[in-house]
Structure 1
Amino acid sequence: MLVNYVALGIGILAGIAGQILLKQGADAPDFVSQVFRPSTLCGLALYGSAAFLYIIALRKIPVSVAFPSVSLSYAIVAVLGHFLFGEPFGLRQVGGIVLIVCGVALINQG
Protein backbone atom coordinates (compact mmCIF):
# COMPACT_ATOMS: atom_id res chain seq x y z
CA MET A 1 0.00 0.00 0.00
CA LEU A 2 2.92 2.35 0.74
CA VAL A 3 4.10 1.99 -2.87
CA ASN A 4 0.73 3.25 -4.07
CA TYR A 5 0.84 6.32 -1.83
CA VAL A 6 4.42 7.01 -2.96
CA ALA A 7 3.25 6.72 -6.58
CA LEU A 8 0.42 9.15 -5.83
CA GLY A 9 2.80 11.62 -4.18
CA ILE A 10 5.34 11.46 -6.99
CA GLY A 11 2.52 11.76 -9.51
CA ILE A 12 1.28 14.90 -7.79
CA LEU A 13 4.79 16.36 -7.86
CA ALA A 14 5.19 15.45 -11.53
CA GLY A 15 1.90 17.17 -12.32
CA ILE A 16 3.03 20.30 -10.47
CA ALA A 17 6.34 20.38 -12.34
CA GLY A 18 4.51 19.79 -15.61
CA GLN A 19 2.18 22.72 -14.97
CA ILE A 20 5.07 25.06 -14.16
CA LEU A 21 6.91 24.01 -17.32
CA LEU A 22 3.79 24.55 -19.42
CA LYS A 23 3.50 28.04 -17.97
CA GLN A 24 7.14 28.72 -18.87
CA GLY A 25 6.46 27.59 -22.43
CA ALA A 26 3.43 29.84 -22.70
CA ASP A 27 5.44 32.99 -23.42
CA ALA A 28 6.17 31.97 -27.02
CA PRO A 29 5.04 34.36 -29.76
CA ASP A 30 2.60 31.88 -31.33
CA PHE A 31 0.91 28.58 -30.55
CA VAL A 32 3.05 26.39 -32.85
CA SER A 33 6.32 27.63 -31.37
CA GLN A 34 4.82 27.27 -27.91
CA VAL A 35 3.97 23.62 -28.51
CA PHE A 36 7.50 22.80 -29.63
CA ARG A 37 9.36 24.64 -26.88
CA PRO A 38 11.44 22.29 -24.71
CA SER A 39 9.64 23.43 -21.56
CA THR A 40 6.25 22.64 -23.11
CA LEU A 41 7.38 19.21 -24.31
CA CYS A 42 8.88 18.39 -20.91
CA GLY A 43 5.72 19.64 -19.19
CA LEU A 44 3.56 17.37 -21.34
CA ALA A 45 5.89 14.43 -20.66
CA LEU A 46 5.62 15.05 -16.93
CA TYR A 47 1.82 15.17 -17.18
CA GLY A 48 1.92 11.81 -18.96
CA SER A 49 4.17 10.40 -16.25
CA ALA A 50 1.82 11.74 -13.59
CA ALA A 51 -1.08 9.93 -15.25
CA PHE A 52 0.78 6.60 -15.22
CA LEU A 53 1.72 7.07 -11.57
CA TYR A 54 -1.90 7.89 -10.79
CA ILE A 55 -2.95 4.60 -12.40
CA ILE A 56 -0.50 2.76 -10.14
CA ALA A 57 -1.90 4.59 -7.12
CA LEU A 58 -5.46 3.66 -8.05
CA ARG A 59 -4.65 -0.04 -7.82
CA LYS A 60 -4.98 0.16 -4.00
CA ILE A 61 -6.13 3.68 -3.12
CA PRO A 62 -9.85 4.41 -3.52
CA VAL A 63 -10.56 7.05 -6.16
CA SER A 64 -12.59 8.91 -3.51
CA VAL A 65 -9.28 9.47 -1.68
CA ALA A 66 -6.77 9.63 -4.55
CA PHE A 67 -8.51 12.16 -6.78
CA PRO A 68 -9.19 14.77 -4.08
CA SER A 69 -5.56 14.37 -2.97
CA VAL A 70 -4.47 15.48 -6.43
CA SER A 71 -6.15 18.82 -5.70
CA LEU A 72 -3.18 19.63 -3.46
CA SER A 73 -1.37 20.33 -6.71
CA TYR A 74 -3.76 23.24 -7.36
CA ALA A 75 -2.77 24.83 -4.08
CA ILE A 76 0.95 24.31 -4.63
CA VAL A 77 0.82 25.58 -8.22
CA ALA A 78 -0.99 28.73 -7.05
CA VAL A 79 1.77 29.46 -4.55
CA LEU A 80 4.51 28.69 -7.09
CA GLY A 81 2.76 30.85 -9.68
CA HIS A 82 2.98 33.76 -7.28
CA PHE A 83 6.66 33.32 -6.48
CA LEU A 84 7.90 32.24 -9.92
CA PHE A 85 5.71 34.33 -12.22
CA GLY A 86 4.49 37.18 -10.03
CA GLU A 87 0.87 36.11 -10.32
CA PRO A 88 -1.65 37.63 -7.89
CA PHE A 89 -1.99 35.94 -4.54
CA GLY A 90 -4.46 37.51 -2.15
CA LEU A 91 -7.00 36.59 0.46
CA ARG A 92 -9.19 34.65 -1.99
CA GLN A 93 -6.30 32.44 -3.03
CA VAL A 94 -5.27 31.87 0.58
CA GLY A 95 -8.87 31.02 1.52
CA GLY A 96 -9.18 28.60 -1.39
CA ILE A 97 -5.93 26.89 -0.50
CA VAL A 98 -6.97 26.54 3.14
CA LEU A 99 -10.24 24.93 2.04
CA ILE A 100 -8.41 22.53 -0.31
CA VAL A 101 -5.90 21.47 2.34
CA CYS A 102 -8.62 21.01 4.97
CA GLY A 103 -10.71 18.97 2.52
CA VAL A 104 -7.83 16.69 1.63
CA ALA A 105 -6.99 16.26 5.31
CA LEU A 106 -10.61 15.30 6.06
CA ILE A 107 -10.79 12.79 3.23
CA ASN A 108 -7.54 11.13 4.25
CA GLN A 109 -8.62 10.69 7.89
CA GLY A 110 -10.02 7.23 7.44
Structure 2
Amino acid sequence: MWPFYLALAGGIVTGIGGQILLKTGADSETILQQLLRPQTIIGLMLYGMAAFLYILALRKIPLSVAFPSVSLSYAIVAVLGYVLFNEPFGVLKIVGLVLIVAGVWLINQG
Protein backbone atom coordinates (compact mmCIF):
# COMPACT_ATOMS: atom_id res chain seq x y z
CA MET A 1 0.00 0.00 0.00
CA TRP A 2 2.90 2.37 0.68
CA PRO A 3 3.76 2.80 -3.04
CA PHE A 4 0.34 4.40 -3.54
CA TYR A 5 0.87 6.78 -0.63
CA LEU A 6 4.28 7.55 -2.09
CA ALA A 7 2.58 8.37 -5.42
CA LEU A 8 0.12 10.62 -3.56
CA ALA A 9 2.97 12.40 -1.77
CA GLY A 10 4.86 12.74 -5.04
CA GLY A 11 1.78 14.20 -6.69
CA ILE A 12 1.39 16.72 -3.88
CA VAL A 13 5.06 17.77 -4.03
CA THR A 14 5.03 17.95 -7.83
CA GLY A 15 1.87 20.06 -7.77
CA ILE A 16 3.51 22.42 -5.28
CA GLY A 17 6.51 22.77 -7.58
CA GLY A 18 4.18 23.52 -10.48
CA GLN A 19 2.36 26.18 -8.47
CA ILE A 20 5.60 27.92 -7.47
CA LEU A 21 6.83 27.93 -11.07
CA LEU A 22 3.51 29.34 -12.30
CA LYS A 23 3.85 32.14 -9.75
CA THR A 24 7.38 32.96 -10.92
CA GLY A 25 6.16 33.07 -14.52
CA ALA A 26 3.28 35.38 -13.65
CA ASP A 27 5.22 38.64 -13.79
CA SER A 28 4.99 38.98 -17.57
CA GLU A 29 3.25 41.93 -19.19
CA THR A 30 0.84 39.91 -21.33
CA ILE A 31 -0.85 36.52 -21.05
CA LEU A 32 0.96 35.32 -24.17
CA GLN A 33 4.35 36.28 -22.70
CA GLN A 34 3.43 34.46 -19.50
CA LEU A 35 2.34 31.32 -21.35
CA LEU A 36 5.62 31.24 -23.29
CA ARG A 37 7.89 31.65 -20.26
CA PRO A 38 9.87 28.50 -19.38
CA GLN A 39 8.65 28.69 -15.77
CA THR A 40 5.04 28.55 -16.94
CA ILE A 41 5.64 25.72 -19.39
CA ILE A 42 7.54 23.63 -16.82
CA GLY A 43 4.95 24.47 -14.16
CA LEU A 44 2.16 23.17 -16.38
CA MET A 45 4.19 20.04 -17.13
CA LEU A 46 4.61 19.48 -13.39
CA TYR A 47 0.84 19.81 -12.96
CA GLY A 48 0.40 17.10 -15.58
CA MET A 49 2.86 14.87 -13.75
CA ALA A 50 1.07 15.57 -10.47
CA ALA A 51 -2.23 14.49 -12.03
CA PHE A 52 -0.62 11.28 -13.29
CA LEU A 53 0.78 10.47 -9.83
CA TYR A 54 -2.60 11.26 -8.27
CA ILE A 55 -4.29 8.83 -10.67
CA LEU A 56 -1.81 6.15 -9.62
CA ALA A 57 -2.56 6.84 -5.96
CA LEU A 58 -6.30 6.54 -6.56
CA ARG A 59 -5.87 2.93 -7.64
CA LYS A 60 -5.70 1.89 -3.96
CA ILE A 61 -6.30 4.95 -1.79
CA PRO A 62 -9.97 5.87 -1.22
CA LEU A 63 -10.98 9.15 -2.82
CA SER A 64 -12.30 10.28 0.58
CA VAL A 65 -8.72 10.10 1.87
CA ALA A 66 -6.68 11.04 -1.22
CA PHE A 67 -8.50 14.20 -2.25
CA PRO A 68 -8.50 15.87 1.19
CA SER A 69 -4.82 14.94 1.53
CA VAL A 70 -4.04 17.09 -1.51
CA SER A 71 -5.13 20.10 0.57
CA LEU A 72 -1.80 19.82 2.37
CA SER A 73 -0.45 21.56 -0.70
CA TYR A 74 -2.50 24.64 0.24
CA ALA A 75 -0.69 24.89 3.56
CA ILE A 76 2.75 24.28 2.07
CA VAL A 77 2.20 26.74 -0.80
CA ALA A 78 1.02 29.41 1.66
CA VAL A 79 4.23 29.03 3.68
CA LEU A 80 6.34 29.04 0.50
CA GLY A 81 4.49 32.14 -0.70
CA TYR A 82 5.54 33.88 2.49
CA VAL A 83 9.15 32.66 2.34
CA LEU A 84 9.79 33.03 -1.40
CA PHE A 85 7.53 35.92 -2.42
CA ASN A 86 7.13 37.85 0.84
CA GLU A 87 3.36 37.37 0.78
CA PRO A 88 1.34 38.32 3.90
CA PHE A 89 1.17 35.70 6.62
CA GLY A 90 -0.90 36.64 9.66
CA VAL A 91 -2.35 34.85 12.66
CA LEU A 92 -5.64 33.99 10.94
CA LYS A 93 -3.81 32.41 8.04
CA ILE A 94 -1.70 30.36 10.45
CA VAL A 95 -4.83 29.18 12.30
CA GLY A 96 -6.48 28.24 9.01
CA LEU A 97 -3.43 26.27 7.88
CA VAL A 98 -3.23 24.45 11.21
CA LEU A 99 -6.88 23.47 10.80
CA ILE A 100 -6.19 22.14 7.29
CA VAL A 101 -3.25 20.04 8.50
CA ALA A 102 -5.24 18.78 11.49
CA GLY A 103 -8.16 17.85 9.22
CA VAL A 104 -5.92 15.89 6.87
CA TRP A 105 -4.36 14.10 9.83
CA LEU A 106 -7.81 13.17 11.18
CA ILE A 107 -9.02 11.89 7.81
CA ASN A 108 -5.95 9.68 7.47
CA GLN A 109 -6.54 8.12 10.92
CA GLY A 110 -9.58 6.17 9.75
Return the TM-score normalized by structure 2.
Answer: 0.99
Partners of 1:93 and 1:37 lie apart in 2 by 31
What is the match of residue 86 of structure 1? Answer: 86
Residue identity (%): 67
Query: 1:54 Cα deviation (Å)?
Result: 0.3
Query: 1:56 Cα deviation (Å)?
Result: 0.2
Q: Which amino acid aligns with 2:93?
A: Q
What are the Cα deviations for residues 52-100 of structure 1, in whole angstroms up to 9, with x where unaligned? 0000000000000000000000000000000100100001110110000
Partners of 1:52 and 1:95 lie apart in 2 by 32
Instruction: Give 3-state SS (helix, strand or coil) of 1:101's partner.
Output: helix
Q: Which amino acid aligns with 1:31?
A: I
Query: 1:21 Cα deviation (Å)?
Result: 0.2
What is the match of residue 98 of structure 2? Answer: 98
Q: Which amino acid aligns with 1:85?
A: F
Q: Which amino acid aligns with 1:66?
A: A
Q: Which amino acid aligns with 1:21?
A: L
Which structure 1 residue ranges, 4+ long, deviate > 4 Å from structure 2? Answer: none
Instruction: Give 3-state SS (helix, strand or coil) of 2:27's partner.
Output: coil
Query: 1:12 Cα deviation (Å)?
Result: 0.2
After superposition, the CA RMSD in angstroms is 0.4
Q: Which amino acid aligns with 1:63?
A: L
Return the TM-score normalized by structure 1.
Answer: 0.99
What is the match of residue 17 of structure 1? Answer: 17
What is the match of residue 74 of structure 1? Answer: 74
What is the match of residue 56 of structure 1? Answer: 56
Partners of 1:92 and 1:48 lie apart in 2 by 32
